[in-house]
Amino acid sequence: MANRQKDKRSSNTLGDYATGADTLIGATQAAREAGFDGSMRSLSNGRVACSTCSAEYSASQYEAIFEHRLEGASDVADMLILIAGRCPRCATKSNLVLGYGPNASPEDADVLERLDLSGATALETAD
């Protein structure tokens, strides 16, 4: 039987495979249910772009409200973080998904380095 442990950021039990908010789909759904239905994308030089207003700005200006880290079900090196926040230009509540760790793209790594996650809390999930 697989060794299971509790994820300290949520009520999910981690085990043989990812389910619910341990998947990107589940975490994105939880963020959307909390009103974060816009999207952001990472750009070069630590910048992000809002899909609603097309504004591009330094990731340090993105207001991170919630964060949820995920590891791949079959390969824990597949590490992602979903950051739910607000665009500083149009105030759209949006999601930004970044890779982190050894397999992160250069753009994602630069954005993550510039983000201020100190005020972000764990995303509450239904799982």
Q: What digits encode the pLDDT tens for the residues 59-89?
A: 999 999 999 998 866 566 678 999 999 999 9
How confident is the model over 11-63, as pLDDT tens digits?
333 333 444 457 888 899 999 999 999 999 999 999 999 999 999 999 999 99
Mean pLDDT of the chain: 82
* Domain annotation covers residue 13: no
In sequence order, what DSSP letters do the residues of 41-96 get, joined into one string?
EE-GGGEEEETTT--EEEGGGSEEEEEEEEE-SS-TT-EEEEEEEE-TTT--EEEE
Query: 3-state DSSP call for residue 33?
Result: helix
The C-alpha atoms of residue 51 and residue 94 are separated, in whole angstroms, by: 9
* Domain annotation covers residue 68: yes
* Domain annotation covers residue 2: no
* Domain annotation covers residue 34: yes
Residue 126 above 90 pLDDT?
A: no
Q: Give Cα 110 to chain centroid, integer Å.
A: 15
* Domain annotation covers residue 115: yes
Nearest by Cα to 86 from 116, 117, 50: 50
Nearest by Cα to 18 from 70, 67, 69: 70
In this structure, are residues 56 and 43 in contact, taking their beta carbons and an 8 Å threshold?
A: yes
> For residue 77, what pLDDT is reported?
63
* Domain annotation covers residue 69: yes
> For residue 75, what pLDDT is reported?
63
Matching residue, tokens 């772009």? 49
The total number of structural domains that make up the chain: 1
Domain housing 43? 19-122
* Domain annotation covers residue 67: yes
* Domain annotation covers residue 81: yes
